[in-house]
Amino acid sequence: MTKSEQLFARAKKRIPGGVNSPVRAFGSIGGTPRFIARADGSHMTDVDGNTYLDYICSWGPMILGHNSELVREQVRRACERGLSYGCATEIEVEMAELICESIPFVEMIRMVNSGTEAVMSAIRAARGFTGRDKIIKFAGCYHGHTDSVLVSAGSGVMTSGSPDSAGVTKGCVQDTMTAVYNDLESVESLLAQAGDQVAAVIVEPVAANMGVVPPKEGFLAGLRRLCDAYGALLIFDEVITGFRLSFGGAAEYFGVTPDLVTYGKIIGAGMPVGAYGGRREIMEMVAPSGPVYQAGTLSGNPVAMAAGLAQLSYLKEHPEFYQALEEKGKDLYGSMQALLEKANLPWQVNYIASLGSLFFAKEAVQDYTSAKASDTERFAGYFHFMLQEGIHLAPSQFEAMFLSGAHTREDLDVTLAALEKYLAGEGQRSV
């Protein structure tokens, strides 16, 4: 028995499912999760000494690569001064100034501890500002595990085959309306039904929790237009895309301005951080400036702020980083699609910039329904094959691949060679 297997057996006795976040359990693909001992650059090493080329990147925030010396040094210095004070610090002001001065529509920002908390707080602020109760979300878009948005969610909920969650009452979701991603007519229909009651439309501008599903041309701009017409706020959930597609996230990348935006752990360089921000008049509704209550002892934690400020400062000072990362994405994901075509296999590669997914689906994946048509059994076989080849992918058909600045040309070649080997074997099977 490997050490990972031993640890998993121990964990299942004390931790639900043996993990502290469901998708880690390998539930949809079978087998034993690898327990990681350390990570550097583009690679992770497990407790058994196996090293893997990593395409999870801690679910996105390790955009500079694992264990960045730049970030690590600032964390070390911050730790020497103390881990947490429960009081205001200069560094959280510097973080807020960096983001607000760099992203025009973020006039004010509030630090929290996770993307889930950021979304929960942004929705509360939207309701407080508009005086309305209902929100519109999209099937397959995941906005954390807050009760009101755990309806037709993606990510780990989608993987388990449960669109909702036990413990979420009907009362919690009665004001949540669900539209179809990439379908403006579905949104307009809901707004026509309840437009004067809708506080906000919340969307992943690039869906990345049902696999990667980019927005169709005009979809995000159409949401902006509809929100303006019906007096609803537009919230971009940029927990995945923020500071990854560009420094200004998807809002900058697509040229569409939301009213509120949520960010996740990338602003902490992988440490537990989130944030929500936007127009001043909305954010001034948040306590203690206004009546919308939200608080957190660890919000703006000085160690997390030091890590995040180091990473964001580097990204701000090196705009060429994003161009290079996007070219890397085109190279990897475009080559993956070319290999599928060469092997005459009908599966799909969806990608945008450094985010990508290989769907075992015969038709184009553009929404929740088409994503769910994927062959998850084939994905499980693919995952384990690639793992044996030393490549660690997200253990779910419905998660994204993430590239970092640490991934090299050699890393991409190794990945493509492994995929070609896999496809050669699949070519012998009926599809």
Q: Which residues are catalytic?
A: 142, 237, 265
Contacts of 336 (CB under 8 A, 6+ apart): 349, 356, 358, 416, 419
> Which stretches within 147-263 are classed as H helix?
155-160, 170-173, 184-194, 219-230, 249-254
Query: What is the C-alpha to C-alpha distance for residues 86 and 42, in angstroms, rounded to an integer?
Result: 35
What region, left, alpha or beta, does residue 65 occupy, with left being phi > 0 and alpha being psi -120 to 50 degrees? left
List residues bridging with 239 in a β-sheet: none
d(CA 235, CA 227): 10
Beta-ladder partners of 350: 357
User: Pseudo-torsion of CA 59, 412, 212, 104, nearest 10°?
Assistant: 70
DSSP one-letter string for 250-304: HHHHHT---SEEEE-GGGGTTSS-EEEEE-HHHHTTBTTTSSB----TTTT-HHH
166: left (phi over 0), alpha (psi -120 to 50) or beta: beta
CA-to-CA separations, 313 to 253, 271, 309, 329, in angstroms, rounded: 19, 16, 6, 23
